[in-house]
Structure 1
Amino acid sequence: MAPPQPKAVAKPAAAPAGGVQKAKLGKPRNYDLGNGVVRFSKTKMFHKKAKYKFVGKKNPKAEKAKKPTVVVKQIGGEKNGGTRTVLLRRRRSFYPTQDKITPRPHHKTFSKHVRRIRPNLTPGTVCILLAGRHAGKRVVLVGVLPSGLLLVTGPFVFNSCPLRRVPQRYVIGTSTSVDLGDFQLPAHLDDGYFKKNKKSAKRTVKRKTGEDIFATKKEKYVPSEQRKADQKLVDEAVIKAIGKRADKKTLRGYLKAAFGLRSSQFPHRLRF
């Protein structure tokens, strides 16, 4: 019979690449034997852990220093001279008289919105107005203002349409356009330039006639000299550009004529 061979000694596990070896976790003393049955009972573990030594023992807690809740203040002045007790912290039943305003991030204001203009509405395009007192007239687009409104002109000598601001949804852009070249609008022609001054209507007293003594009289709008000069400057540039075209005679008649639909004509079927 061959002598028994000695068992090979297990080699220690190699340390990880980082050089730190994980600590081995030991097996608990009261481990699970299977199916929820533990090795020692609850009573056995009570004695093994010597919990009977601590039954009925109480460690007195150190008393914490009480913080003052009130402060006594001296009241000065005549006929006072006493004291007043003031709470350092408000009671939980205290309700503020006004809700606290919490700043919240708001959306961009309307003036900061991005303006998107239809690609066919470029300076020099001939447009048809669809609303307003000049509805049906053909005008020339001379610029787009920062507010997103279109600045158009007749010119005034063609169809009596002055410099006006028009929303793009009330405009039809045609395929006809005028080459304005390097013409630039004056810097002062912005949205503030076209705002009207709201003046209160003046009251006129009428006692001799039988009309109301507090009848209101509206002032008639009269364009200023600056407005007339700007209108003339823009119209001259547009008329000069029209005069360079080969079909200038036809284009002038086109701008002077009003747009309208005849019977059995539908705008969605027309090509402008």
Structure 2
Amino acid sequence: MVDTKAKAPAKPVATDAKKEGVKQRGKPRNRDLGNGVYRFSRTRMYHKKAIYKFVGKTTEKTVKPKKPIAIEKKIGGEKNGGTRLVLLKKRRKSYPTSDPVTVHHAKKTFRDHVRKFRPTLVPGTILILLAGAHKGKRVVLLKRLKSGLLLVTGPFLINACPLRRVSQNYVIATSTRINLSGVKFPKEVVKDEYYKRTHHKRAKKAEGDIFSTKKVDYKPSEQRKIDQKVVDKLVIGAIKKHQDKKLLFTYLSAMFGLRSSQYPHRMKF
């Protein structure tokens, strides 16, 4: 005999969240509907939360009674003054002659810290600079340096942005990338020491040299200009190999900007 009655599916066992100790969070009464518009207005929430009950009310500050440090005691004798202040908490009888030696644990200096980069910051990625003299320009990421900074270039022939180091905090990474896998840049250019400026000590001011000395502005050396031309040639050669090379040249030369009702955190670059 075949049983024609279908077996009912097993009901899921209901677990009590309160018994297990799991806290259930409810939805807030006033939630964001989108674009900064909330479900209830401020006046509506003023009545919902019954804030009017607490407006203007102040709680009196409880003043704790201060414990006396010393007590005045009577002392017998004619020449003893009659009274004397006696400390309630007596001082220590002996004090150490030298301070205890504190153990200072060895701390890692900044150069020994582990550098962490965002996964979107891959060499060849086109970045948007957000700060500095070249803010708003689109640049090409060449390498992630040991100091935690990013080595970028315009290239200089396209948007006048030279080789420079930039912090990853002031950069937006786009989805556009250039293939730099086969490109070999000069070894000196890819090091942090190459970009450190030499600060000369000021000479002591004489009586007549107060207004004659002026602040020296930074000027790139001739070697820096030669290296810039070499790097530009390599990067532009990699751009020319891209299928959208004409679009990339106009994209790198154009400045980045936002109009009204445009928010960068809602955009996909």
TM-score (norm 2): 0.59
User: In structure 1, what is the Cα distance between the partners aligned to 2:147 and 2:115?
Assistant: 7
**What secondary structure sits across from 1:173 in the alignment?**
strand
1:195 CA displacement: 1.1
Taking structure 1 as reference, are residues 140 and 103 closer, same or farther at Cα in structure 2, changes over 3 Å only? same
**What secondary structure sits across from 1:217 in the alignment?**
coil
Instruction: List 4+ stretches of structure 1 deviating above 6 A.
Output: 202-207
Hey, what does 2:154 align to over in structure 1?
Answer: 154
Hey, what does 1:269 align to over in structure 2?
Answer: 266
Hey, what does 1:76 align to over in structure 2?
Answer: none
Hey, what does 2:194 align to over in structure 1?
Answer: 193
**What secondary structure sits across from 1:232 in the alignment?**
helix
Hey, what does 2:116 align to over in structure 1?
Answer: 116
Matched-pair contact (CA < 8 Å) for 1:204–1:215: no
Deviations 1:107-152 (CA, angstroms, capped at 9, x unpaired): 3211111111111100000000000010000000000110110000
**AA paired with 2:218?**
Y
Hey, what does 1:250 align to over in structure 2?
Answer: 247
Matched-pair contact (CA < 8 Å) for 1:153–1:162: yes
**AA paired with 1:197?**
T
User: In structure 2, what is the Cα distance between the partners aligned to 1:130 and 1:267?
Assistant: 11
1:190 CA displacement: 1.6
1:213 CA displacement: 4.9
1:269 CA displacement: 1.4
User: In structure 1, what is the Cα distance between the partners aligned to 2:100 and 2:187?
Assistant: 45
Matched-pair contact (CA < 8 Å) for 1:204–1:214: no
Matched-pair contact (CA < 8 Å) for 1:128–1:172: yes
Alignment RMSD (CA, Å): 2.5
User: In structure 1, what is the Cα distance between the partners aligned to 2:159 and 2:147?
Assistant: 26
1:101 CA displacement: 5.2
Hey, what does 1:136 align to over in structure 2?
Answer: 136
Taking structure 1 as reference, are residues 160 and 203 closer, same or farther at Cα in structure 2, changes over 3 Å only? farther
- Residue identity over aligned pairs, in percent, reads 55
User: In structure 2, what is the Cα distance between the partners aligned to 1:155 and 1:236?
Assistant: 9
TM-score (norm 1): 0.58
1:202 CA displacement: 7.0
Hey, what does 1:217 align to over in structure 2?
Answer: 214
User: In structure 2, what is the Cα distance between the partners aligned to 1:168 and 1:142?
Assistant: 13
**AA paired with 1:133?**
A
Taking structure 1 as reference, are residues 206 and 156 closer, same or farther at Cα in structure 2, changes over 3 Å only? farther
**AA paired with 2:125?**
T
Structure 1: unaligned runs, 5 residues or longer: 1-91
Please identify, of 183-192 and 152-161, the stretch whose mean Cα deviation from structure 2 is larger: 183-192
Matched-pair contact (CA < 8 Å) for 1:202–1:217: no
**AA paired with 2:114?**
V
User: In structure 1, what is the Cα distance between the partners aligned to 2:103 and 2:222?
Assistant: 48
1:100 CA displacement: 6.7
Structure 2: unaligned runs, 5 residues or longer: 1-93
**What secondary structure sits across from 2:259 in the alignment?**
coil
**What secondary structure sits across from 2:213 in the alignment?**
strand
1:187 CA displacement: 2.7
Taking structure 1 as reference, are residues 201 and 249 closer, same or farther at Cα in structure 2, changes over 3 Å only? farther
User: In structure 2, what is the Cα distance between the partners aligned to 1:160 and 1:153?
Assistant: 9
Matched-pair contact (CA < 8 Å) for 1:140–1:155: yes
1:204 CA displacement: 9.7
**What secondary structure sits across from 2:185 in the alignment?**
coil
Hey, what does 2:97 align to over in structure 1?
Answer: 95
User: In structure 2, what is the Cα distance between the partners aligned to 1:195 and 1:259?
Assistant: 29
Hey, what does 1:231 align to over in structure 2?
Answer: 228
